[in-house]
């Protein structure tokens, strides 16, 4: 929506921020109406500049942007509400970075995707209030589906036969499950697929209580993160921070 000064105004969620020249930054925003939008924030590295505090990953903002032929320029930014990722909660920040990087990688520039915006807006407060590991996994599963990359857990990717009641493996490269008749190997636990399917329907607004075994959670994470990176066609750099915190998502 444009105001009388020709500025585009919208709600936005900060995905990534990088330094640009001496005092400036480039922020990748996910806006509600225009989708993913890179903006140049002049002077954002100066400590007295309020944008230095506003432009943090997964901050929810009301922004005013001057659209241009080369790159949009951020004119104003105001945080919506008081929610932000706490600096001292390293695990929350790490999982939030994975969510933001994956969103920035999968969505094309300036193509509206309101369903993803609403999903991320709902996931951010849940990330802070609940188990960040489960919330991040849930968000990635649902975001992949909204972007058209949902794995198939019911039929073998090679022979197309139902795998119910059979041994099968989770194969990221094949985009879902592969039955034991088509490819031998260590079978996945059926409970892992049950978990993946349950998280695909989980609402961030309703707090559900259920028990998750560590083995099936790790198996689900490894599959989703590898599957995600195949769709991105590049590694998730933010996973390195998780590994430094002692996580084992891509080990083994």
pLDDT digits (tens, 9 = 90+) for 149-191: 999 999 999 999 999 889 999 999 999 999 999 988 889 999 9
Residue 21 lies in a domain: yes
- pLDDT at position 252 is 36
Per-residue pLDDT, 51: 61
Residues 106 and 63 in one domain: no
Rounded to an integer, the average pLDDT of 202-223 is 88
81-126 pLDDT tens trace: 655 565 557 788 889 999 999 999 999 988 999 999 999 999 999 9
Question: Is residue 15 located within the same domain as residue 122?
Answer: no
In a domain, 107, yes or no: yes
- Residue 110: Cβ within 10 Å count: 13
Q: Which domain holds residue 181?
A: 90-244
Q: For residues 58 and 132, is the Cβ–Cβ distance under 8 A?
A: no
Q: What is the mean pLDDT of residues 15-42?
A: 90
Average pLDDT of the chain is 87
- Please check whether residues 97 and 219 belong to one and the same domain: yes
My answer on whether 240 and 139 are in the same domain is yes
Per the structure, how many domains does the chain have? 2
Lowest mean pLDDT of 40-49, 62-71, 134-143, name the range. Answer: 40-49
**pLDDT band per the 50, 70, 90 thresholds, residue 19:** confident
Cβ-defined contacts of 227-230 (< 8 Å, 24+):
227/144, 227/149, 227/151, 227/172, 227/175, 228/102, 228/140, 228/144, 230/172, 230/173
User: Beta strands of 32-172 (E only): which ranges?
Assistant: 35-41, 60-66, 72-79, 168-171
- For residue 19, the domain's CATH number is 2.40.50.140
The CATH number that applies at residue 130 is: 1.20.1440.120
- Residue 45: pLDDT band (50, 70, 90) is low
Mark which of 79, 99, 117 sits at the end of a domain. Answer: 79
Q: Are residues 105 and 230 in the same domain?
A: yes
Residue 249 placed within a domain: no
Q: How far apart are CA 109 and CA 96, in angstroms?
A: 21
pTM summary value:
0.90
Tell me the pLDDT band of 70, cut-offs 50, 70 and 90.
confident
Instruction: Report yes or no on 2 lying in a domain.
Output: no
Q: Interhelix angle for 214-232 vs 90-106, to 10°? A: 40
Q: Is the pLDDT of residue 198 over 90?
A: yes
Q: Please report the pLDDT score of residue 11 as a whole number.
A: 95
Q: Where does the chain show beta strands of DSSP type E?
A: 8-20, 24-31, 35-41, 60-66, 72-79, 168-171, 176-179
Residue-wise pLDDT for 236-245, tens only, equals: 888 887 777 7
């Amino acid at each position: 929506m444009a105001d009388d000064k020709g500025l585009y105004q919208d709600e936005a969620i900060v995905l990534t921020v990088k330094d640009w020249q001496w005092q400036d930054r480039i922020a990748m925003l996910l806006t509600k109406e225009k989708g993913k939008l890179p903006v140049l924030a002049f002077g954002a590295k100066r400590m007295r500049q309020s944008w230095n505090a506003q432009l943090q990953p997964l901050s929810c903002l009301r922004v005013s942007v001057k659209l241009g032929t080369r790159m949009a320029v951020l004119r104003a930014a105001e945080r919506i509400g008081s929610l932000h990722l706490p600096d001292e909660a390293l695990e929350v920040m790490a999982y939030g970075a994975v969510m933001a990087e994956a969103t920035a990688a999968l969505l094309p520039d300036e193509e509206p995707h309101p369903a993803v915006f609403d999903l991320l807006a709902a996931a951010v407060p849940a990330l802070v209030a609940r188990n960040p590991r489960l919330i991040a996994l849930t968000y990635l599963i649902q975001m992949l589906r909204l972007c058209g990359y949902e794995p198939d857990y019911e039929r073998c990717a090679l022979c197309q036969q139902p795998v119910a009641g059979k041994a099968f493996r989770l194969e990221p490269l094949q985009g879902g499950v592969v039955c034991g008749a088509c490819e031998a190997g260590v079978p996945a636990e059926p409970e892992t697929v049950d978990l993946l399917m349950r998280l695909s329907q989980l609402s961030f607004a309703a707090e559900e209580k259920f028990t998750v075994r560590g083995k099936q959670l790790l198996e689900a994470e490894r599959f989703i993160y590898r599957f995600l990176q195949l769709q991105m066609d590049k590694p998730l750099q933010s996973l390195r921070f998780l590994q430094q915190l002692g996580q084992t998502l891509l080990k083994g």
